[in-house]
């Protein structure tokens, strides 16, 4: 499965599934008993790596497993970018507010589009620029009330948070540049290993309970390993800015999961801004479909 190339509609559906799985993090972490911060990132990454290996083995990915023994430069680069994404988000949360972190992360489509234009010389359609602008505005609407940079610590946290969309955009470009020659799915495993090793000194002493470890295993397997692997597969059929644009659905689905699973009622700004994000994505896909038919 992880070696296949899907049609564009199927790739879009895969990305929506990815965002649904990514977005369960908030509601599941609400049920942690003792694990916090760096320990959460460590265990999530530590569980992610063996799950990636198991999924590759179960789906006949012998070549992919072999690539991990002697990883290529492209595989190592993608792994380091995954590790940056896995680690910097949590580090940013320790330095600044959740709203600041999420708003900085929401610029990923814009960063990806600029990098694709510079590195790949990929022309970004006007409809994509329009959708990116509208979607980022919707994200800003959701979190604007909680955004503040009143101290040097906040500014540092926002700078660290910006590493997430920068690493994400660079990884998207890496998928498009080398993904047809090199299978980059195993890079998710490398990223998890690098992230776990980087977080280990900060995670000690461990405080996670048995319930925490069960939740963190689910996060490592179904919130990290599976959707990240599927995103690499979807990237074979979608332009880099489109992948980043679809990934914004995570911030829309997250509050809905928290509402269903933790009783947290979404604010009016969340519903309004989320509607703008969804509208931007729907309009983009409709305009793209009309162009293809024409």
Q: How far apart are the first and last CA of the chain?
A: 32
Phi then psi dihedrals of residue 274, to 5 deg? -60, -40
Closest residue by Cα to residue 189 from 220, 232, 225, 237: 225
163-178 confidence digits (pLDDT tens): 999 999 999 988 888 7
Q: Where in the chain are the domains? A: 8-293
Per-residue model confidence (pLDDT) at position 139 = 82
Per-residue model confidence (pLDDT) at position 262 = 66
Per-residue model confidence (pLDDT) at position 46 = 96
Per-residue model confidence (pLDDT) at position 30 = 82
Per-residue model confidence (pLDDT) at position 167 = 94
Q: Which residues of the chain have pLDDT under 50?
A: none
Per-residue model confidence (pLDDT) at position 147 = 62
175-201 confidence digits (pLDDT tens): 888 766 778 889 999 999 999 999 999
Residue whose tokens read 């604007």: 144
Per-residue model confidence (pLDDT) at position 264 = 66
Model pTM score: 0.87
């Amino acid at each position: 499965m992880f070696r296949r190339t899907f049609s564009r509609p199927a790739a879009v559906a895969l990305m929506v599934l990815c965002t649904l799985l990514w977005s369960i993090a908030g509601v599941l972490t609400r049920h942690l008993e003792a694990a916090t911060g760096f320990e959460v990132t460590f265990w999530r990454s530590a569980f992610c790596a063996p799950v990636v290996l198991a999924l590759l083995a179960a789906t006949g990915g012998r070549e992919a497993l072999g690539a991990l023994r002697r990883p290529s430069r492209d595989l190592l680069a993608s792994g380091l970018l995954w590790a940056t994404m896995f680690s910097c988000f949590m580090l940013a949360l320790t330095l600044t507010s959740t709203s600041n972190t999420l708003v900085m992360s929401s610029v990923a489509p814009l960063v990806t589009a600029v990098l694709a234009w510079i590195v790949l010389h990929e022309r970004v359609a006007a409809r994509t620029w329009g959708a990116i602008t509208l979607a980022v505005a919707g994200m800003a609407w959701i979190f604007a009330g909680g955004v503040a940079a009143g101290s040097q610590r906040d500014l540092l946290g926002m700078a660290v948070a910006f590493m997430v969309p920068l690493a994400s955009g660079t990884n998207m470009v890496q998928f498009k540049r080398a993904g047809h020659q090199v299978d980059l799915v195993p890079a998710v495993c490398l990223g998890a290993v690098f992230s776990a090793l980087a977080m280990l000194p900060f995670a000690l002493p461990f405080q996670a309970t048995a319930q925490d470890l069960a939740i963190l295993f689910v996060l490592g397997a179904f919130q990290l390993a599976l959707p990240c692997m599927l995103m690499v597969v979807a990237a074979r059929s979608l332009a880099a800015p489109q992948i980043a644009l679809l990934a914004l659905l995570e911030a829309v689905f997250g509050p809905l999961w928290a509402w269903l699973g933790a009783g947290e009622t979404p604010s009016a700004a969340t519903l309004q801004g989320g509607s703008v994000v969804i509208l931007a994505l729907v309009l983009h896909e409709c305009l793209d479909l009309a162009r293809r038919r024409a």
